[in-house]
Structure 1
């Protein structure tokens, strides 16, 4: 067996379940299979192995579902791909072959079933990796921050449960002016290169990673800049996104026999860890830009989000939106939530009127990091926070956000009954960075680190 050409990537992980993504290589006129085997750390015997036939239509990618795992446990696993000598093999018959597994052993840990333990997460977005003719230019610039994240994860207490990447994991449109990528093979190559760099590959092989797309997985400011000819681009970009990002996420349900249901009808999803819940929105592909019913989230997603906020028993509720919920930018911005004020107000009113506590909006996009607190003039009990974490790696062609980028001296929304007012609770970080969030009993600690891992700021947000 050969090492995966991309991956393995640990995706959605629970107390008893984990998903592993990997890619093999197309061999013309030859069947290709991939396999994964695993064991609990300290055990002598490997599992029998799970196998799948790789298909060119899926870019030779597969996601394996490991079920019936033990909670709060360390596992080690091996993964690879191969082409059998005989062309008549099936998934069942290759299980009997005397396979030589790749020597590389990877590790992951299942979640704890204890509800109130401290939990930690890595959050980041906007990882620019310029590609020319399918080759990364200066790839170390776009990969070095993941070495720093790995070092933090190795020594973190409490242990880091997952990495949440909130958008622009690749830039399909990095050379839009000169030579835009529009073909499926070009976009797939970007994913292969971006996810197989040394440091990010090492990190994602052991730390569960959750992803959601933003505009650059398709095109800058999508769909506001959409042209009629962009249907071809969109179809290819979304196909690549589904294969490399959505495939190992909770957006895919499990079948009754414990396999990944490859049918996908939405990109937004939820996941839970103890008394913490995440709602990861798709704030990019379900937009309605009509003047009569402007929406950044479609009606079904908005209703599901509101119902979740009202009824979830979670102590802390993280809502991921790839573009900023607030504060607003000074320049006219038709891309973030400030361009959809009615829907934003409906969410805020839902949180306020139902007296929902400990809601934190998580986003990226603006190439600057910050935390901010939102209050309501006529209700001292209302409080919402936001954590913005961006970028993991900026392009030299794009500016960083600063405090001067945002409108900070006036209310976010003025209503007949009162005003929603916000204030920064951190400085605005204008350099490559990531956030390390620790949920404790009485506070959310947000630590921003630079690309070398140095602590830039640490902010404590009370948990009520």
Structure 2
């Protein structure tokens, strides 16, 4: 039996972020700012309307607590104890801000226990700043991306992140949505980075030997702590790429997970198939122990996701230690527009009853209540993030090749026959809301490593509906080859949804891509469009396609 390595020594040869910042949920008067500090200790976040002068942040013998009194431009200064408990991460909530205003922020410390020569860890170059939204904005412009895996290509590179940053700056984006797979914890050895599930399969016996109690049960808290350290490592590795960090520190981020933050195909594998993930040939495996480890890994993945992604999202009900009971879906408003981020992983279970497998019954009820609320009926447009597209691949292929290594990928799809009941309920809700209130609705998706746009219609029952699904993937993952367009859904009736029809508007594969959504209402009439951008890594040019989404 191999020795169990210390989790802090996992992937020691890869570069990792030490200190970093993310601007999270931002309104006209508030923001969330997430930070990671390279050491635990007392750290202070400072927010100012102007760049702080050198004389302010070199401290000159003063402590940070005195700074606000001597700098009237400082609007927020708060010290927090940042510890290893959350991997030295912390989210600050800032309020009382002014609409449509630029703010600079700084992470600093005068903790004597840290004995830092450089007191300002982040922001000393004045490149850490954000802008609050306008009060009740009637126009919005935001970015969308998915599937960040720079280790899936050789040489490793950041894909289209540099182009994404440039476009966001040039077009003065309000915020960015990360539509899933912001990290890949289950990549492969060809990528020269460890698959956490292969690691567990190879090391589970050493793990069980250390953490199994005398009565045969598992000592769960230290196992979860061990696994959580492994998952955190992926975030620190995957998020150390330069232009990704530029986007995260500058533009407000809204994130939702997909399967690769947990396990490839999470939710589309049966209990027996999850057990088999850890099974070794010629060993007398304990299947119950295998399954217990799988579910403890899910708890660890959820904890790392909470620390690195969900902590800076809008608030939702999170129950520590119980991801299955937590609400990972959330919604937010930006002026005349409503947003809902669907969670297709936290409650995804292919063994649940028909109509409850992707979202679960409780999440569907929350979503139904939201989209039928009086405030949402008054919006100019509605945007829904479903990390897995409602329509992308040909449904005939999805329901024919759902076996072997492709089974979980196709069973993830809304178009798979096992998910038709749930898909149909969602489509009925969206088509009815769009038709009855004359509101365009756009579903934003990732997951599939290529791009597409579809209209979804039901002219007999909902003739006034304007429903679209725009997919952009992948920003840095190795893209599907150009020939993949042949497998994409064409304009056709919707299988299993009588009277419904998919209208293909655009399809593309072969290069990294991202999207910018523009809701322009400057002249009083809404003009809604999605622009898909694609480029080869390292190229000087970027290609774009504007897709009009109706008015």
User: TM-score, with normalisation over the residues of structure 1?
Assistant: 0.84
Instruction: Name stretches of at least 5 consecutive residues in structure 1 with no aligned partner.
Output: 88-96, 255-260
1:150 maps onto 2:165 in alignment: yes
CA distance in 2, matches of 1:86, 1:76: 24
Find the partner of 1:36 among 31, 40, 45: 45
Displacement, 1:400? 6.2
1:384 maps onto 2:399 in alignment: no
Contact 1:327–1:422 (CA<8 Å) still a contact in 2? Answer: no
User: What CA deviation, in whole Å up to 9, does each residue of 1:183-241 have, x standing for no partner?
Assistant: 33232121012223211111211100111000011111102233324123212221111
Find the partner of 1:62 among 85, 90, 108: 90
* Structure with more of its chain in strand, by fraction: 1
Q: 1:279 to 1:176 in 2, by over 3 A?
A: farther
Tell me what 2:534 maps to: 450
Displacement, 1:295? 2.3
Contact 1:24–1:81 (CA<8 Å) still a contact in 2? Answer: no
Matched positions, count: 429
Q: 1:193 to 1:180 in 2, by over 3 A?
A: closer
1:346 maps onto 2:452 in alignment: no
Matches within 5 A, 1:75-114: 75-81=103-109, 83-85=111-113, 100-102=119-121, 103-105=124-126, 106-114=128-136
CA distance in 2, matches of 1:373, 1:423: 5
Tell me what 2:411 maps to: 334
Contact 2:149–2:238 (CA<8 Å) still a contact in 1? Answer: no
User: What CA deviation, in whole Å up to 9, does each residue of 1:92-139 have, x standing for no partner?
Assistant: xxxxx99933423211000111432x21111010111329xxxx9844
Tell me what 1:325 maps to: 390
CA distance in 2, matches of 1:198, 1:450: 19
Contact 2:26–2:32 (CA<8 Å) still a contact in 1? Answer: yes
Q: 1:161 to 1:299 in 2, by over 3 A?
A: same
Q: 1:414 to 1:60 in 2, by over 3 A?
A: closer
1:433 maps onto 2:433 in alignment: no
Tell me what 1:124 maps to: 145
1:244 maps onto 2:288 in alignment: no
Q: 1:409 to 1:148 in 2, by over 3 A?
A: closer
The residue matched to 2:508 in structure 1 has which SS? coil
Contact 2:50–2:73 (CA<8 Å) still a contact in 1? Answer: no
Tell me what 1:304 maps to: 366
The residue matched to 1:326 in structure 2 has which SS? coil
Displacement, 1:359? 1.1
Matches within 5 A, 1:125-274: 125-130=146-151, 138-139=155-156, 141=157, 143-156=158-171, 159-175=172-188, 179-181=194-196, 183-225=227-269, 226-227=274-275, 228=291, 229-252=293-316, 265-274=326-335
The residue matched to 1:352 in structure 2 has which SS? helix
Tell me what 2:216 maps to: none
Q: What's the Cα RMSD here?
A: 2.9
Q: Which has the larger radius of gyration?
A: 2
Q: 1:328 to 1:150 in 2, by over 3 A?
A: closer
The residue matched to 1:427 in structure 2 has which SS? strand
Q: 1:121 to 1:48 in 2, by over 3 A?
A: closer
Higher alpha-carbon deviation: 428-437 or 118-127: 428-437
Displacement, 1:420? 0.4
The residue matched to 1:233 in structure 2 has which SS? helix
Q: 1:318 to 1:148 in 2, by over 3 A?
A: same
User: What CA deviation, in whole Å up to 9, does each residue of 1:222-278 have, x standing for no partner?
Assistant: 022333241232122211111101111013589xxxxxx999831111111110111
Higher alpha-carbon deviation: 331-340 or 352-361: 352-361
Displacement, 1:405? 1.6
* Structure with more of its chain in helix, by fraction: 2
Contact 1:408–1:423 (CA<8 Å) still a contact in 2? Answer: yes
Instruction: Name stretches of at least 5 consecutive residues in structure 2 with no aligned partner.
Output: 1-16, 52-70, 201-226, 276-290, 400-409
The residue matched to 1:64 in structure 2 has which SS? strand
The residue matched to 2:120 in structure 1 has which SS? coil
Tell me what 1:367 maps to: 449
